[in-house]
Amino acid sequence: MAVSTQVPVRNRLLATLAPADFSLLEPQLERVPLPAGMRLIEPNTPIEHVYFLDEGITSVVATTPQGRRIEIGIIGSEGLIGMPVLLGLDRTPHACFVQMPGAGLRIRADDLRATTAASATLQQHLLRFVHAFTVQMGQTALANASYLIDERLARRLLMCLDRVDGDDLAATHEFLSLMLGVRRAGVTEALQSLEDRGVVLTRRGQVRVVDRAKLEAVAGDSYSLPEAGEP
């Protein structure tokens, strides 16, 4: 089902397109629900659709041959999922799945290739996000190498907070440990430290941010515009 112009488009990449470029994409966009855990891209598998989130959060994850996983970036309504298609590729070694449920629009990869080939301005607009996400990945690598668990956890919570409505984040200790590439006990201790300082409240499967300013102070220089999803 193609997207209706009667329904607002909340995805920032689509919302900031020139009207002529959006009109090229619009007939090929399909509204889809995005439940938690849905796999949008499988490693080394042809990418069939590119997704533009209106709400929700996706995780881009790298995996070792031994099965160890670590998150290399997150994407919400500021961008798109399926960036290799814009770079002339049809697959990636990374997985992408829905971390926090939402909804969005998708387009067949072949249709997006044809549409961007017909409009240089559309292609350029979408490629700006590819650059922004590349910067985010670089910042993630820097954070993983240079910052303590408390700082990295605060950074990630802020990144999620920027991409949802409200202050509640769905996240288990086990999930956060996998995404940060640290032991679960380390995440538990870091969350407890944040709670003791009045920064967050935790309960099973959920983290509520109660003082964003304090959370930003904990994250320090590890959190900046790329993390917030700014171009």
pLDDT of 183-228, one tens digit each? 889 999 999 999 999 999 998 888 999 999 999 999 999 998 777 6
pLDDT tens-place string over residues 40-51:
999 999 999 999
Residue 205 sits in the same domain as residue 133: no
User: Total structural domains in the chain?
Assistant: 2
Is residue 24 scored above 50 in pLDDT?
yes
81 and 190 part of one domain = no
| 125 and 83 share one domain | yes
Q: Please check whether residues 81 and 101 belong to one and the same domain.
A: yes
Whether 52 and 104 map to the same domain: the answer is: yes
Domain co-membership, 161 together with 94 = no
Is residue 51 one of the residues assigned to a domain? yes
Q: Residue 91: pLDDT band by 50, 70, 90 thresholds?
A: very high
Dig out the tokens for 50 from the structure: 């590119």
Same domain, 133 and 163: no
Measure the CA–CA gap between 20 and 42, rounded to whole angstroms: 32
Q: By residue range, what is the domain housing residue 223?
A: 147-228
Looking at residue 49, what is its pLDDT? 98
Are residues 101 and 126 part of one domain?
yes
Whether 219 maps to a domain, the answer reads yes
Residues 109 and 80 in one domain: yes
pLDDT value, residue 227: 74
Answer yes or no: are the C-beta atoms of 149 and 186 closer than 8 Å. Answer: yes
Q: What is the pLDDT of residue 1?
A: 45
Range with the poorest average pLDDT among 83-87, 164-168, 222-226: 222-226
Choosing from 98, 116, 143, the residue where a domain stops is 143
| DSSP letters spanning 60-103 | EEEE-TT--EEEEEEE-TTS-B-HHHHTT-S--SSEEEEEEEEE
- Is residue 5 pLDDT above 70, yes or no? no
Cα separation of the two ends of the chain: 30
- One domain for residues 119 and 36: yes
Question: Residue 217's closest CA among 199, 200, 202?
Answer: 199
User: 27 with 57, same domain?
Assistant: yes
Report residue 173's pLDDT band, with 50, 70 and 90 as the boundaries: confident
Across the chain, mean pLDDT equals 91
Sequence-distant (6+) residues with CB within 8 A of 58 are 34, 40, 51, 74, 75, 76, 81, 96, 97, 98, 99
Q: What is the pTM of this model?
A: 0.91
Same domain? For 98 and 151 the reply is no
Q: What are residue 107's phi and psi, to 5 degrees?
A: -140, 145
Decide which of 85, 118, 143 is a domain's last residue.
143
